[in-house]
Amino acid sequence: MAQIQLSFPGGQKVNALMRNFEIKTDQPVPAGGEDTAPTPFEYFLSSLATCAGIYVLNFFLERKLSTQGLAMTADYSRNPETKLVESYDIEIVLPKDFPEKYKSAVIRTAELCTVKKHLHHPPEIRVSAK
C-alpha cells in the first residue's frame, strides 16, 4: 500500500510527503491561514485538470504534433447552498495547425484521465485513530 505522511508545520498549514516530494498546503487569510500555498481542495481541483493535461500532452507527443499554441483551461461552479462543485469544464485550446481528424480523439484521450475515473468510481475511504 502506498503511503502519504502528513506534517503540521504551524498555522493552518498541512503538508504531505509523497514519493519524496513535499506538497505544501495552507488556507486563505480569511480562513485563518497565511495564503502561502494552495488549499487541499485547490490541489484536488487542479489534479483533475493536470491529469487531463498529461493525457493530452502525451497524445501530442506520441503523434509528434507541435504543442506550440496548445493550452487548456478548467472552470468549475459550486452549488451556493452545499458549496460542492456541480460542474467542471475542461477546454482544450488546440494549435491553429492541429489536424481536424484528431479533434474527437484528443477529447476522448483527455476523458481517460485517472482522476476522473476515480470520481466516477470512488474508493472506499476509511478513517481511524490510534
Question: pLDDT of 69-124, one tens digit each?
Answer: 999 999 999 999 999 999 999 999 999 999 999 999 999 999 999 999 999 999 99
Whether 6 maps to a domain, the answer reads yes
Torsion of CA 94, 99, 102, 106, to 10 degrees: -20
Q: What angle do CA 51, 55, 58 make, to 5 degrees?
A: 135
Report helix angle 103-110 to 40-62, nearest 10. Answer: 140
Question: Does residue 130 register a pLDDT over 80?
Answer: yes
**Do residues 20 and 48 share a domain?**
no
Residues 15 and 70 in one domain: no
Residue 49 near residue 90, CB atoms below 8 Å: yes
Q: What is the pLDDT of residues 24-54, one digit of tens each?
A: 999 999 999 999 999 999 999 999 999 999 9
Q: pTM for this structure? A: 0.89
Give the structural domain span for 20. 1-37
Total tally of structural domains belonging to the chain: 2
Residues whose CB falls within 8 Å of the CB of residue 130, separated by 6 or more in sequence, listed in order: none
All three cell numbers of 111, joined, read 476523458
Give the model's confidence band at 2: pLDDT under 50 very low, under 70 low, under 90 confident, else very high: confident
Sign for the CA dihedral angle at 82, 46, 27, 18 comes to positive
Residues 63 and 26 in one domain: no
- Residue 101: what pLDDT? 97
Domain assignment present for 63? yes
Please say if the pLDDT value at position 1 is more than 90. Answer: no
- Which contacts (CB < 8 Å, 24+ apart) does range 1-10 have? none
